[in-house]
Amino acid sequence: MIERTLVLIKPDGVERALIGQIITRFENAGLKIVGMKMKWVDKEFSRKHYAAHVDKPFYKSLEAFIISGPVVAMVLEGIDAVEIVRKMVGPTEPKAAQPGTIRGDYAHHSYGYADKKGIAIKNLIHATGTKEEAKQEIALWFSKEELHSYATVHEKHTL
């Protein structure tokens, strides 16, 4: 089914000027950008976005990372978009991510290095994990007016 999913280009991706290359990958796969913005997240917003992780041991370093600079947030639309985007992004640890995934091609950070330094894994992207989370995360980041349907374009040009 046609779904929507939330993607963030995290502060490391923005700082490394990878915004264009990352967006191009999603567009090349036929996913449609139906909303996009740049936002500098604060601690309160981080706690909302990462509500599931707030009590985890890595949260403090994750929060420091996500508030360290602006992020680019976008909502992508396409067939099974949640699953497809996660596949394109790759697993959490860039060291373990296969070449061909965004994390595997553009990063190489490891759990070992991050833990030793007391910092979060710099892995360029946040991508929603499940369809249920997609609804909550999109609602947190975007108002209805900021999202634009491409259903007609899909049928005409992509599918």
| Sites of contact with ligand CDP (CB under 6 A) | 53, 58, 61-62, 92, 111, 114, 120-121, 123, 126, 129
Residue number of the CB atom closest to Mg ion: 129
What residues pair up with 74 in beta bridges, in sequence order? Answer: 7, 36
Q: How far is the CB of 98 from ligand CDP (least distance, A)?
A: 14
Q: How far is the CB of 21 from ligand CDP (least distance, A)?
A: 19
* Among the listed residues 55, 75, 51, 53, the one whose alpha carbon sits nearest the alpha carbon of residue 121: 53
Name the residue type at position 145. E
Number of residues that bind Mg ion (CB under 5 A): 1
Beta carbon nearer to Mg ion, 24 or 92: 92
Q: How far is the CB of 22 from ligand CDP (least distance, A)?
A: 14
Active-site choice (108, 109, 126, 154): 126
Q: How far is the CB of 146 from Mg ion (least distance, A)?
A: 23
Task: List the single partner that 123 binds among Mg ion, ligand CDP, none, CB under 5 to 8 Å by kind.
Answer: ligand CDP
**126 belongs to the catalytic site:** yes
Q: Is 141 left (phi over 0), alpha (psi -120 to 50) or beta?
A: alpha
Beta carbon nearer to ligand CDP, 135 or 154: 135
Beta carbon nearer to ligand CDP, 116 or 156: 116
Q: Which of residues 80-139 bind Mg ion (CB under 5 A)?
A: 129
Q: For residue 131, with 0-12 CB atoms within 10 Å meaning exposed, 13-18 middle and 19 or more buried, which class applies?
A: middle
Contact 82, 131 (CB under 8 A): yes
Handedness of CA 36, 138, 11, 24 (dihedral sign): negative
Residue 98 CB contacts under 8 Å (≥ 6 apart), including other chains: 90, 104
Residue numbers at the binding site for Mg ion (CB under 5 A) = 129
What is the set of active-site residues?
A: 126
